[in-house]
Structures are given as structure tokens and as C-alpha cells.
Structure 1
Amino acid sequence: MTAGLTSAWQLADEEARAEVDVLNSRLEKTTQLTKKIQVCLGKLEATGKSVHEVAGPLNSETRRLQTLGHNVYSVLAAIERLRQPADSRNDEEQIIRTGPDKIGLQSYLASAKRLNKTLVDMQASNLRVNQQTKADLSRLVKSANSQLQGYFQKLLRAETPRSIEPLHYITKGMPFPVLPQATITPLGLIRAYVTNNESASASQTSSLAKIYSEIRGPYLVSTLANLSAASVNTAKKRNPEAIYRSGTNGIGTYAQAMEGLFLAEHENICSIFDREDWRLIFRSTCDAAVAELARALRDLNSHVKTNLNTDCYLAYEITEIMSNLSTNLEARTGELKTSLAAALRPVRETAKTSLAELLEDTNRKAGNIQMLPVDGASMPLVSETMQRLQTMAEFLRPISSIMISLGDGGWKSSSVANGRSTDAIPSLASFDIGADGKQIFAHYCVDTIESLLSSLYQKAQAMLRGGQGVLGVFLANNVFVVERIIRDSDLGPLLLDRLGALEQWRKKAKALYTAECKDVSAHLFDVIHTSKHRPASGQPDSLSVVKSLSSKDKDNIKGKFHAFNTSFDDLVSRYKSYHMEPEVRQMFARDIQQMLEPLYTRFWDRYHEVDKGKGKYVRYDKTSIGAVFISLY
């Protein structure tokens, strides 16, 4: 059994050895195969390097040849394009020579654009070929631009009349005419071509603007010429003393026509030209018309300065009308404010200085009075001055503006009074933002009235020799004339709450006049004591009072009655000789009655029996003297 186990183990060992031999044999073959593969890879790598060394230069040369071929084709194409202008030049030249009016603007512009593009392309090229073609194209482009400029002028002139009748549009409320759309369209196309044309110079664009202003500017001037002349002519008066009345001068219609024409012209310009050109073209088109306006305003200003007392109101009206024109045009166009302000400047300065000059003129007239009415009547200068203030109130809007620019009390400034104001164009810095022009004008009116009454009072003190009574009547008459005109005119709303100054003058007048009444009343005072037989009722019994008097006292009472009669009759006589305004008569009659009647009634009740009813000393009883007082009203 042991031998059998050994034999089996030997057999297994031999089989294992045989398998190992087989594996070793296979490993040897694999090693040999690996070596062969490595040798092959080395050979393949060496071959690849050789191929790369050979193929690299060939690839670079191929790319260079491809670039050269592309350049050759590009040169050939450029040459072909350069030959095209010469080939088509004759056709385009024929169109240009025919002109836009015959060939049609659209076709003409298309041809001009093609020529322009071709010329730009040739000028951008670095090839120095076809120099003659380039010169010919440049000549054709310039010819096209010139013809388009001429066509622009022809179209515009054909639609621009020498003038139109502005009153036709104003009276019918019609807008002023603009260029028809059939003309606007081609003008706009020409302007757009010139603006967008790279070969066109800036001067060609400005030439169209110049053409426009040179054609439309004279049209504006001619249309407004008659209204300009009418504005100056309507300032002339048959009666040199006539006060100017609002709306009687043609300046309002002139400004209305100018506004309508300018707005229509601005609409034309906006439809034809680029936005950045609107301002300069509009101003250059309107410059001549504004210059003519300035000339007319200078003529009107000379007229106003010559007739300041009667025509200063025209300066106020012009100031308002021109200010409104400037504001309206500024709002609609953004232009001409400075030009219109410069044109208005002389008139506005006259309007400003007139306030001080008129006040000074009033004082000068009062100072030059050579004679005052002996009956105390008011002076015509008072009515004249108040009439002037009343008329100024009718121009309150422009005067308020002028007052604000002057400032409260500014009419007292020596620079304004002497006409040396340098405020050409008012700015915000020259205004009190919170100022009320109406209130400042009211201050001016009060200053004028106060100065007038003060001057007249001083003159009356020196010239009236009839005593304080006539001085009081004279002053009161003038005060009440002033007050009546204020209450019955447009000055009322401005000055009624400022009549305190007049009240002071009225009190002064009453004090002057009633001084004479005090002299009369002095005869009615007595210092006689009649304590004996005094009536128990408290009412004086004249018979008892007189009986209690001594002869000397009776004679004294008789003398007082006689003196009163004389002075009272003289007072009444002088009172009736005075010329009094109705309000003054009422006031003084009331003052005389209130001052004298109670005193005389008391005196008469006590002493009338001294005359024993004969009327020798006691001329008036209570009824008759009351009738005299009533007759004074």
C-alpha cells in the first residue's frame, strides 16, 4: 500500500513539472515577441520623424501659395471695380448734365449718390491708377452739388412771394402760410443729401442755409414794411395836446403779424433743416425784420420823448406788446429774446425814466405858477396830474413790470431821473422777487399827490393874500378834486386804502378856514355874571338877564351883537365869494354851523332883549340865522 502511494505521488510531480516547462516555454516566446514589437516601434518612430521633416516645408509652402492666390484674386477684383467708374461714367454724366428738374429729383439724387460713393472708394484706395477717372468723378460730383444747390434755390424762390398782406390773415384769424409740402419734401431731400454727402464740404451745407435766409428774409421784411410804417405814422397827432389812448397806435398789429410770420418761418425751417441748424437759420432769416422793428421803435421812442407828458403811455404799451411778443416767440421757438430786448431797450428806458421826469415836471409846473385863483378854486394842474395817474392806471400791467425793475422809490434815483439807467435787459438779479408792481405804483401815485399838494400849498402861502380862509378853501378844493378822481377812476382799488395822507391835508385845510370862524365866535363869549334873578328852570330869561345888567354891560352886549353882525356878514360874504367844490362847500358849511350856531343861540337866548325887538343890534334871531347857515350848503 505504501508503494502504491509513492507511485501516485511521483506521477503527480511529473505532471506538474511538465506544466511548468510548458509555461516557461510560453514566457520565453512572449519575451521574444515583446522585443520584436519594441524594435518595430523604434523603426516606426524613426520613419515618422523623417516624414514630418519632409512634409513640414511642403505644408508651409502650400499655405503661402494659397495666400498669394487670394491676394491675386483680390487685386483682380479691385482692378475690376476701378474699371467700372470709367465704364459707367458716361451714363452718370448724362444724368448730371440733364439736371434734376428734367431727369427728376429722385433719379438725380440716386446718380449723385452713386458717383459720390465711387469717388470715396477710389480716394480710399492706395492704388495709383485711373487718376483721370478720379478727377472726372470729382468734377461730376461738384457739378451735381452745384446743380442741387441751384435747384434748391429755384424751388424756394418759386414758392416765396415778394410779400403777402398780413391784415388778411389777422382780421380773419387765419394762420400765416407756410411752404407747401410739395416744396418742403424736395428741399428736405436736397438738404439731407448735402448733409450726408461725405464729399460735400461744410460750406455747401451752410450755403443752403444762406440761400434760405437770403430768400425768406426779404419776404418777411417786405410783408411787414407797411405795418412798420403805419406804427410810426399813427403816432403822429393832429392835436399835440391829445393824450395817447390805448390801441390807437399800429404797434399791436405790427407785433401780431410779426409773431405769426416768424412762427410760420420757424415751422418751415424745422421741416427742412436738421435740429442743430434751426437756431442759426431762424435767427439769420429774421434778423433783417427785427432790425426794421428796432428802427421803427427808435422812431416811436423819439416821438414819445418829444411828447412825454401826453405820449408816455405809448411807451408803456409798446413795452407790454414787445414783452409779450418776446415771451411768445421764446416759448415756441426758444429764440429772439435777446434781439427783441435790444430792439425794445430805448423805449423801455424812456418808459422807466418817464416816471421820474413826469414827477419832476409836476413839481416844476407847480413852482412856475405865476398866479393863483383869488376865489380859492382848484388848480387845473391838479386835474391834469390826476388824469395822468388815471391814464397810467389803464396801463397797469406794463407799468407794474417797470415798477418792479425800478424798485419801490426807484423813481427818486438820480440815475433814473437823468436817463442813465444801464439796465438793458432785466435779469432776476435786478428784481425783488416778492415785489408787487401794483403796490409800488400806488406808492408812486401817493408820492406824486403828496409832492403836488405840498408844492401848491407852499405857493399859496406865498401868493394868496386873502387870509387863512382862502388858503384853506384853496387847499381843500385841491384835496377833494384829488379824492373825487381817485374814487371815480381805476385809481380807486389802488389808493382808497391810502387816503390817510389826504386826510392830513383835509385837516390842515379845515384848520386854516375855521380860524376865521374863531374870530367871529369870539364876539359871542361873555364874562358877565348874572347870578341874580337866575330862572329856576335853568333856561335863560333874556328879559330878566338884561334887566340885571348894568348900563355898561348892556352897552358891551350891544357892541358884541354889532361886532358879530359885522364879522358874520363879512364871513358869509367871503364864503359865498369863494369857489368851492361841492364836497368842500358841504364840509365848511357844516363846520361853520357847528361852530357858530350853538354859540349864537346861547348868546341870543341870554341877551336878545337888549335890543327890545327893534333889530338895531340883534339882526338875527335863531330862525333867521339858521336860514343863513342852511344857505351856506
Structure 2
Amino acid sequence: MEKTRDKLIKETRNLESFKEMLNKSNKLTKTMVSILSNFDEKLSKLEETIGPVYKETGNLQQRQENLVKTLQSFDYVIPFYTVANDLEPIITTGPDSMPIPDYLDNMNKLKSAINYFVKNNPESPELMNVTSLHDKGAAFLLKKFRLLISNHSRPLAPNIIYCLVHEDDNQSELPKPLSDKIPEKDRAQLRLLSEWLVVNMKDQFISAYSSLRCEVVEKSLRDFKAHQKSSSGGFSGHLSSPAPPRKSLTPMKDNLPLRRNPKSIQQALKKKLQDVIPTEMLGGRSYHSVPHDLCELATSEREIECYLTSVTALYRLMQAELKLMEGIIPMEHQKLLFSRLVQPALDFVVNEGENIAGRVKKCSVKHDFSSALNLFPILRHQASMRHNFDLLFDGCSTDVQTKFQGLVVTLQTTLNKALEEFIEYIRNDVDTKVPRDGTVHELTSNVMIFLVQLSNYLDILSRVITVTDMQSYERSSDKNKLAFAQYISRVLQTLSLNLQLKSDCYADQYLKAIFKLNNIHYILKTLRKSSLLETLKMYNHEIDLVYEKQIMENKRIYSQSWSRVLHFVLEIDSKTPSPESIEMANMKLKEKDRQMIKDKFSGFNKEIEELRKVQKAYAIPDAELRESLKKDNAMFIVPRYEQFYKKYSNMAFSKNIDKYVKFSPNEVYNIIQSFFDATA
């Protein structure tokens, strides 16, 4: 109970203490509520007081910002209105009065003013003033550019172009004749001017630059061409500067030769033809020449050489122009300018090539096919330079890119037509005039020489020859050779038919055989001595056997011309009589036998004399064939006559033996050796 009472007393005290604390808390809460209420009232009053001030301050700040912006706008705009008056003395004086960069800065200020007025006040009179001043300054800048570029735009001398032609194509620097033409100071000014002009006066700038430089290129090329025509012996001795060692004029990696070193292609060609077709094969006649120059429009080797050099010179000049632009014209505008400035010179060279092709067409109509051969060096040169021109013209206009390709098509078409017309000419050559002596016909010699000449261009023949057998052509690993082999085969077939018709003009069947023998042998020997037979065998494997068979057949026909001579000396008994049998025969000879022996000797003498007279006029120009026939004749006749001679020459068949026995076997041999020789 004590404990309970103590605990109650303690809890009572705690309760009284808690009530006391609760009362204090309530008093503090009331005091805090009163303070907060008072603060809220004061804060509301403050807000009502500060709000209008804050708004006014914001308005004042906005006005200040607007004022600053307005002042800045005035600072930006006012120069546009005053720039014309400020810069007029400077602009009208021209760019010579100050450094180019400073003048360009002033021009850019005018340009900015123009842009401002166009956008904000296009009706402003200031726009007209600024534009007028800008145009005047731009004209001064264009004039300055023209003056600078024209000071370094003189046509190149022929000797400099000649050096350019022989420059190494792999060099990376500007060719020496042009690298020092424009000083660095002028190049820097030209670069600054071109960068400004191409933005502000693009059309006028392109026109100015291209007209000046194209005139230089074209004039340089025309002067070089004129110098070539006036120089009969090349450049050495005609140029003021020493000419570099002569080498190929084709600046290509494959280094195909442009021309041969002799003064004339014809000289080199004749020398080569003489190695292949000796003059004596043609009996000393004029048939060994190339087809006669029937056409007064025929091109000369010198003219072709000059043209090919001009093509290379044009390439070098255009290459130099591109290199020259690298330090002057912005890259993105170089090809446009290049297309315009090279067009006249390119047209000049291509038109000249087309003119040559046109003249060849006219000459082919007049059956002067040798002139067509002059187109092959041009076609070869164009083919070898195609890659270089493609690189040079990359990015240029389509007209520039396709210009040379159009010339190539013209050349190929012209050559193809000339080669086809050549076959038609052979087929339709119905001239009945044949050599009296049965030698090689002029048509045969001209055809074979033409084929030999064509073989010099084997590398490009497939571009111009009409292929008649496409299956064999597609299967061939060497299409150039196969196409040429087909063409040779067509030509020789046509020639054989024509020669057969011509041989029918001979009344003498043995002279006819000699004519065919000469021509066939000439064809076969030319094929063998040149590369033609090797080429032809790609398409006709047994062509040489065919010709050999024809040669043997005509030899057989010719040998029949001896039948009448052989008729008088041919003995059934081929044994040589002994002296005893001859003496016994002399005792037994009857008048009829004596007369028979007389008739045999007389007939033999008459026939061999007649044969010598006739066949002395036969011509076999090829020494090998001539000696072969003589040998065959001697082996065919002399042994038989010797038997006849030994058997009857010592018989007493006549009191005047010498009247009948005129020739010994050795003399008969010498007579045979005199055949085919009009001077014997």
C-alpha cells in the first residue's frame, strides 16, 4: 500500500507538471500566431508597395536594351548610307592606288551595302549609288586582271613548243617554258583577283580569261603548224635554241613511236619493201612502187608527221594551261574555264584531221588507196594518247570530252570504207591490158605491197577491218591478227579471180601459164618473206600448199611447150649406140632412113630456134623461179637430145652433116640458159 500511495503521489505531481507545461505551450502558440499574423499583414503591405516599383524597373530595363539595340542598328546601317561617299575617291582611282587586298576589302563593303539595300530598302536611291560605284570598281578589277594575264599571254615560239613536246609526261611541275613566265607577285595578285571576280563577275571573268588564253593556245598552235610546213628538214637548223635529242613525239607510257627517224616515211617504207619484195622480182618495172598517186588531194608523209606533232603539241599546251591555272583559278572553276579556252584549238586540230580523212575518201574514189595508209599513224597516235586525253578532259564539257573520239570514229569509218573499196577495186578491175612478156601484173604488185604496208599497223587493224567470220574471230586469242588474216584471205581470193580473167587475154597458152606462174610465185614469195603468211595461216592453214600446187600445175602446163621439140628427139630405145653399131647402121641406112634423120635434125633445129625466139620474150623477173625453170628445161631436154645426138650425129645420113647437126648438147644447154632474157 505504501508503494502504491507513493506511486500515486508521484504520478499526481507529474500530471500537475505536464499541465503547467501545457499552459506555457498554449501561451507561446498564441504569441507565435499573433506574431505571424502581424508579419503577414506587414508582408502584404510591403508587396503592395514594392510591386509597382518592380514593374517600373523592368520597363526601364527594356527601354534601355531597346535603346542600345537601336544605337547598334544605327551604327550598322549608317555606314551603308555613307559608304558610297566615303569610298568613291578610293574606288574610282582604281586598284593601282593601293594593295589589291585593301581594294578588295573596300569592294566587299560596297557589296555588303548592296545586299542590305536590296533586302531592306530596294527603292532607296542609295542602292543605285552603291551599285554604280561597285560596278565601276568591279570593272577596274576585271581590267586589272585582264592586264595582268595579258602581260603574260603571248603565243609561244615554235622552239618552246618543240621543247614542250619532248617534256617528260610524268613531271609534276609546270613545264619549264611556262614555269617562270608569271612572277610570284603577279601570280598572287591574279589569284586574289580571280577569287573575287569568280564570285562577283563570274561570266565576265570566265569570258575574259578564256578568250585571252584560248587565243594564246590557238595562235601558238597555228604558228607551230606554219613553222612545220615551212621547215622541210625538221626543226634542227631552223630554231634559235638547240633542239633536244630526237625521240618519240608520243608522250605516252606505252611509248608507241610517232614517226620513224628517216626524212620520209616513204623512204623507210621503200627500204622495208625492198627487203620483202626485191626489185628484180618485178623485172625492173615500175610495178614495185606503191599504187600511183592518182589523186592530187593525196596527203604527204610530211603533212601527216606535222599533224601528229600538232596533236602532241596541243596536248602539251593544254596540259600546261591546266598547270598554269592551278595557282590562279579556284579549283571548282578550272574545268569550266579549261573547256572554253581549249575549244578553238581543239576544233582546229580535229577539223584538220577530219579534212585529211575527207581527202582520203576522195582519193579512194579515184582508186588511190595508198593515201589511206596515212590515216593509220593518226589512228594509232590517237589510240595511244586516248588515256592521257581522257585524264586531261575529265570534268570538262561533253563536247570537249567527245571531240577526239568523234575524230577516231571518222578515221575508223574512212579506213574501213577504203579497205572495202580496195577489194571492190580489185574485183572490178576489168582492164584487159596484160604484160606482153607475162611478168607480174601491176595489180598484183600493188595489192601485195599494200598488204605489206598494212601489216605495219597490225596492232590497230581490228578497229577498222570488217570481220566476216565472227566465230573464228571470237575464238582467237589475237583478234588483230585474225581480223587481218581474214582480210588478206578476201583480198587474195579476189585477186586470184581477177588474175584468172586477165590470163584469158593471152592467146599463147604457155605465156598464159608463165603469167600465172609469175604472179602466183610473186604472191607466195611476198607472203613468205613478210609476216603475211604467218598471219594468214591463222585463218587458212594450207594457203602455201594451195599456191605451191598452182605453181606446179602452171609449170606442168608450161613444160608442154617443149613437146614439139621433144617430138623430134624422143627415142623409144634410150640406149646409147656403140661405134660398131653406128658403122653398121651407116652401111645399112636407106634413103628413107637418111631422110628421116634429116627431118628430125631439121625439125629440132627449127623448133628450138622458134622456141628460143618466142620464150626469149617471156619474162620471169624472180631469179630463183627463172633458174628453176631453166634447170627443169635443161633436165627435160638436154639428156634426151644428147642421146639423139650421140646416136645420129656420127651417122653418114648426109654429105653435109653440118647443115643438119647445128647444135651440140652443150649448145642446146646454152640456148636454154638464154631463155627469158630479151637481151640474149
Please say whether Structure 1 and Structure 2 have the same fold, judged by a TM-score greater than 0.5: yes
* SS of equivalent residue, structure 2 residue 178: coil
Q: Matched residues, percent identical?
A: 17
Aligned partner of 1:458 in structure 2 is 501
* SS of equivalent residue, structure 2 residue 339: helix
Does the alignment pair 1:584 with 2:625?
yes
Are 1:473 and 1:584, in contact at CA under 8 Å, matched by a contact in 2? Answer: no
Pick from 373, 388, 402: which aligns with 1:328?
Answer: 388
CA pair 210-115 structure 1, distance change in 2 beyond 3 A: same
Instruction: Please give the alpha-carbon distance, in whole angstroms, between the structure 1 residues aligned to 2:563 and 2:447.
Output: 35
CA pair 609-148 structure 1, distance change in 2 beyond 3 A: closer
Are 1:543 and 1:609, in contact at CA under 8 Å, matched by a contact in 2? Answer: no
Q: Which letter does structure 2 place at the counterpart of 1:379?
A: H
* SS of equivalent residue, structure 1 residue 272: coil
Pick from 338, 347, 350: which aligns with 2:414?
Answer: 350
Instruction: Please give the alpha-carbon distance, in whole angstroms, between the structure 2 residues aligned to 1:276 and 1:343.
Output: 29
CA pair 515-63 structure 1, distance change in 2 beyond 3 A: farther
Pick from 427, 431, 449: which aligns with 1:368?
Answer: 431
Pick from 163, 184, 187: which aligns with 2:187?
Answer: 184
Pick from 319, 327, 343: which aligns with 1:271?
Answer: 327
CA pair 376-63 structure 1, distance change in 2 beyond 3 A: same
Instruction: Please give the alpha-carbon distance, in whole angstroms, between the structure 1 residues aligned to 2:407 and 2:11.
Output: 135
Aligned partner of 1:259 in structure 2 is 315
CA pair 402-60 structure 1, distance change in 2 beyond 3 A: farther
Instruction: Please give the alpha-carbon distance, in whole angstroms, between the structure 2 residues aligned to 1:434 and 1:143.
Output: 69
CA pair 510-156 structure 1, distance change in 2 beyond 3 A: same
CA pair 46-345 structure 1, distance change in 2 beyond 3 A: same
CA deviation after TM superposition for structure 1 residue 379, in Å: 1.9
| CA deviation vs aligned residue, 1:148-198 (integer Å, no higher than 9, x gap) | 12211222222222x3322343058464536514433222211212345xx
- Describe how 1:520-535 pairs up with structure 2 within 5 A: none
Gaps of 5+ in 1: 1-5, 411-430, 531-538
Q: Which letter does structure 2 place at the counterpart of 1:404?
A: R
Aligned partner of 1:148 in structure 2 is 141
| CA deviation vs aligned residue, 1:443-490 (integer Å, no higher than 9, x gap) | 3334333322331222112x11112x2222111112233344445556
| CA deviation vs aligned residue, 1:394-451 (integer Å, no higher than 9, x gap) | 4x16xx53542443249xxxxxxxxxxxxxxxxxxxx999763344234333433332
Aligned partner of 2:347 in structure 1 is 291
Q: Which moved more, 1:610-619 or 1:91-100?
A: 610-619
Aligned partner of 2:19 in structure 1 is 25
CA pair 493-41 structure 1, distance change in 2 beyond 3 A: farther
- Describe how 1:101-500 pairs up with structure 2 within 5 A: 101-121=96-116, 131-161=124-154, 163-170=155-162, 173=166, 175=175, 176-177=177-178, 180=182, 181-196=184-199, 200=200, 204-228=201-225, 246-247=301-302, 249=304, 250-308=306-364, 309=368, 310-324=370-384, 327-334=387-394, 335=396, 336-342=400-406, 347-365=411-429, 367-370=430-433, 372-394=434-456, 396=457, 400-401=459-460, 403-409=462-468, 436-461=479-504, 463-467=505-509, 469-488=510-529, 491=532, 494=535, 499-500=544-545
Instruction: Please give the alpha-carbon distance, in whole angstroms, between the structure 2 residues aligned to 1:614 and 1:219.
Output: 102
Does the alignment pair 1:83 with 2:78?
yes
CA pair 52-375 structure 1, distance change in 2 beyond 3 A: farther
Q: Which letter does structure 1 place at the counterpart of 2:439?
A: A
Instruction: Please give the alpha-carbon distance, in whole angstroms, between the structure 2 residues aligned to 1:501 and 1:245.
Output: 38
Aligned partner of 2:286 in structure 1 is none
Q: Which letter does structure 1 place at the counterpart of 2:422?
A: L
Q: Which letter does structure 2 place at the counterpart of 1:115?
A: L
* SS of equivalent residue, structure 1 residue 273: coil
Are 1:153 and 1:211, in contact at CA under 8 Å, matched by a contact in 2? Answer: yes
Instruction: Please give the alpha-carbon distance, in whole angstroms, between the structure 2 residues aligned to 1:380 and 1:403.
Output: 28
Q: Which letter does structure 2 place at the counterpart of 1:377?
A: T
Q: Which letter does structure 1 place at the counterpart of 2:186?
A: T
Instruction: Please give the alpha-carbon distance, in whole angstroms, between the structure 2 residues aligned to 1:37 and 1:587.
Output: 157
CA deviation after TM superposition for structure 1 residue 210, in Å: 0.3
Q: Which letter does structure 2 place at the counterpart of 1:106?
A: P
Are 1:464 and 1:470, in contact at CA under 8 Å, matched by a contact in 2? Answer: yes
CA deviation after TM superposition for structure 1 residue 387, in Å: 2.8
Are 2:465 and 2:487, in contact at CA under 8 Å, matched by a contact in 1? Answer: no
Q: Which letter does structure 2 place at the counterpart of 1:356?
A: E
| CA deviation vs aligned residue, 1:186-213 (integer Å, no higher than 9, x gap) | 22211212345xxx3xxx2121010112
Gaps of 5+ in 2: 168-174, 233-263, 265-291
Q: Which moved more, 1:130-139 or 1:380-389?
A: 130-139
Q: RMSD in angstroms over aligned alpha carbons?
A: 4.9
CA deviation after TM superposition for structure 1 residue 248, in Å: 5.4
- Alignment length (residue pairs): 577
CA deviation after TM superposition for structure 1 residue 109, in Å: 0.9
| CA deviation vs aligned residue, 1:358-385 (integer Å, no higher than 9, x gap) | 33334444x2133x23432222332233
Q: Which letter does structure 1 place at the counterpart of 2:620?
A: M
CA pair 593-331 structure 1, distance change in 2 beyond 3 A: farther
Q: Which letter does structure 1 place at the counterpart of 2:19?
A: S
- Describe how 1:62-77 pairs up with structure 2 within 5 A: 62-63=57-58, 65-77=60-72
CA pair 432-193 structure 1, distance change in 2 beyond 3 A: farther
CA pair 46-448 structure 1, distance change in 2 beyond 3 A: same
Instruction: Please give the alpha-carbon distance, in whole angstroms, between the structure 2 residues aligned to 1:213 and 1:286.
Output: 8
CA deviation after TM superposition for structure 1 residue 262, in Å: 1.8
Bigger RCO (CA 8 Å, 6+ sep): 2
CA pair 393-27 structure 1, distance change in 2 beyond 3 A: same
* SS of equivalent residue, structure 1 residue 378: coil
Q: Which letter does structure 2 place at the counterpart of 1:441?
A: F
Are 2:148 and 2:186, in contact at CA under 8 Å, matched by a contact in 1? Answer: yes
Aligned partner of 2:257 in structure 1 is none
Are 1:472 and 1:509, in contact at CA under 8 Å, matched by a contact in 2? Answer: yes
Instruction: Please give the alpha-carbon distance, in whole angstroms, between the structure 2 residues aligned to 1:221 and 1:306.
Output: 29
Instruction: Please give the alpha-carbon distance, in whole angstroms, between the structure 2 residues aligned to 1:129 and 1:227.
Output: 55
Instruction: Please give the alpha-carbon distance, in whole angstroms, between the structure 1 residues aligned to 2:91 and 2:438.
Output: 95
Are 2:576 and 2:646, in contact at CA under 8 Å, matched by a contact in 1? Answer: no
CA pair 614-472 structure 1, distance change in 2 beyond 3 A: farther
| CA deviation vs aligned residue, 1:280-322 (integer Å, no higher than 9, x gap) | 3212212222333344345434543454424223333333345
Are 2:482 and 2:535, in contact at CA under 8 Å, matched by a contact in 1? Answer: yes
Are 1:403 and 1:441, in contact at CA under 8 Å, matched by a contact in 2? Answer: yes
Instruction: Please give the alpha-carbon distance, in whole angstroms, between the structure 2 residues aligned to 1:151 and 1:299.
Output: 41
Instruction: Please give the alpha-carbon distance, in whole angstroms, between the structure 2 residues aligned to 1:26 and 1:518.
Output: 178
CA deviation after TM superposition for structure 1 residue 323, in Å: 4.7
* SS of equivalent residue, structure 1 residue 482: helix
Are 1:611 and 1:618, in contact at CA under 8 Å, matched by a contact in 2? Answer: yes
Q: Which moved more, 1:271-280 or 1:98-107?
A: 271-280
CA deviation after TM superposition for structure 1 residue 259, in Å: 2.1
CA pair 630-211 structure 1, distance change in 2 beyond 3 A: closer
Are 1:298 and 1:346, in contact at CA under 8 Å, matched by a contact in 2? Answer: yes
